[in-house]
Amino acid sequence: MRAELVDAAENSIFHPDYIPAGPGWAPRVSTFAMAFELADEFDAARHAFALLDGLVTEWPWQILGDPVEKFTGSRDYVTANAS
């Protein structure tokens, strides 16, 4: 499952031609960031958070609680655990 998740990101948000812009890009990247964290794929999660550059979206973080709190907590946890 982890390999499929990484593959999906490599073919979308991590693809060299990907431009983070347009409607819905940030929630999609946030969903990958959360999924990578939950899968203990910390380097990939760190990459997704870097694409967001601090931009907090309600989705998907609101399912865990306060979006800002959950985003920053997740980003900090990932940063501490990435290589």
pLDDT of 16-34, one tens digit each? 999 999 999 999 999 999 9
pTM of structure: 0.94
The pLDDT value given to residue 7: 98
2 vs 19: CA distance, rounded Å: 24
Number of domains in the chain: 1
Give the contacts of 26 (CB within 8 A, at least 6 positions apart). 20, 52, 55, 57
Q: Where are the alpha helices (H) located in the chain, listed in sequence order?
A: 2-10, 25-38, 42-52, 67-81
The pLDDT value given to residue 38: 95
Domain that includes residue 59, residue range: 2-81
pLDDT of 60-83, one tens digit each? 999 999 999 999 999 999 999 998
13 vs 8: CA distance, rounded Å: 8
